[in-house]
Amino acid sequence: MSTRNLGKLFTPSSIAVLGASNTPRSVGNTVMRNLLAGGFKGAIMPVNPKHQAVAGVLSYPSVAALPVVPDMAVICTPAATVPGLIAELGERGTRAVVVLSAGLREGKDDGGQPLTAKMLTAARPHMLRIIGPNCLGFLSSPFGINASFAPSVIKGGDLAFIAQSGAVASAVLGWSAARGIGFSHFLSIGDAADVDAGDLLDYLGKDPHTRSILLYLEQVTAARKFMSAARAAARSKPVIIVKAGRESAGAAAAASHTGALAGSNEVYDAAIRRAGMLRVETIQDLFNAAETLGHGRPKSGDALTIVTNGGGAGVMATDELAAR
């Protein structure tokens, strides 16, 4: 597993927005306005050769023209442009990029090379880390980052959320905002071509701003890395997961959505239990977990009360607790 350069994603000092736009309701316009409204204290630099300014902020025609090296960049441009922009950012010194653009998994360049492979090849020499592509974006309340085109903002809190589905992420954002549930970090990882759930579990398991971790996953691509990170994170924090694709029809749908096989439900059940995570069945269950963890506070000390409707159950609960 690797958390290399993820610090540039979670704690950047400057952010560039490639494809920033003044077109109302466009992704580039929404991302710029979300970043400006989020309270980020560092430099926010729009990049678009067609605009002198975006959302009232001086714009730059290219990555090379930026006055400082952006720690993080957000790409909102068409899929075909992404590999070249990744190469430019890597050469400039950027080490974390959120790629919102869709279509890389299906697209190819003029020579027939898949765009995702070309993007990763451009990133590799610079050890540049990529969230996405095809994702909603990244939000972080401790640092005022809203690098997303989500219609909702997040309230500060100590829950971290990771989702492979942008639609699910958007639904959770809307639900949590209405109920006052706060998050430390909120990540939509989309195709997860580079940074995946295992990498983020490894990072968030040690993150001082995060007390609990919630996940929505459709498939796991690097099982050994994921299991190692999940075990480590679950030892210190509650980790709750919805693993979609339980039945064969759902697994087929997940494969078409994420581009990878979902795997056996029984295998996932066993792996999740072994790692010490809690699997829940529905988004409503995940919402309930979020509400419980968001409002609950851990107790300290050695006092424990057992409430039961029968003495035998209380005796067995006491035996089990003592044995553990």
At 7 the pLDDT is: 96
Two tokens, residue 185: 């970090």
Name the DSSP class of 302: S
The identity of residue 231, as a single letter, is R
At 247 the pLDDT is: 58
At 1 the pLDDT is: 44
At 13 the pLDDT is: 97
Q: Are 230 and 203 in contact (CB under 8 A)?
A: no
Rounded CA separation 141/138 (Å): 10
At 175 the pLDDT is: 85
Helices marked H in 93-152 = 115-123
Q: Are 175 and 291 in contact (CB under 8 A)?
A: no
Two tokens, residue 166: 């942008």
Two tokens, residue 88: 């430019």
Question: How do the pLDDT tens digits run along the chain, 324 residues long?
Answer: 489 999 999 999 999 999 999 999 999 999 999 999 999 999 999 999 999 999 999 999 999 999 999 999 999 999 999 999 999 999 999 999 999 999 999 999 888 899 999 999 999 999 999 999 999 999 999 999 999 999 878 889 999 999 999 999 998 888 888 888 899 999 999 999 999 999 999 999 999 999 999 999 998 888 999 999 999 999 999 999 999 876 555 455 545 544 444 468 888 999 999 999 999 998 788 878 877 876 766 667 777 888 899 989 999 999 998 888
Concatenate the DSSP letters of all residues of 65-84 into one string: T-SS--SEEEE-S-GGGHHH
Concatenate the DSSP letters of all residues of 7-34 into one string: HHHHS-SEEEEET---STT-HHHHHHHH
Q: What is the pTM of this model?
A: 0.85
Report which of 54, 50, 47, 62 is spatially closest to residue 15, judged by C-alpha positions.
Answer: 47
- Taking the CB of residue 119, how many other CB atoms lie within 10 A of it? 28
- Asked if the peptide bond before residue 61 counts as cis, ω within 30 degrees of 0, the response is no
The strand pairing partners of 163, in sequence order, are 188, 216
Establish how many alpha carbons lie within 13 A of residue 228's alpha carbon, considering only the half-sphere containing its beta carbon. Answer: 9
At 248 the pLDDT is: 56
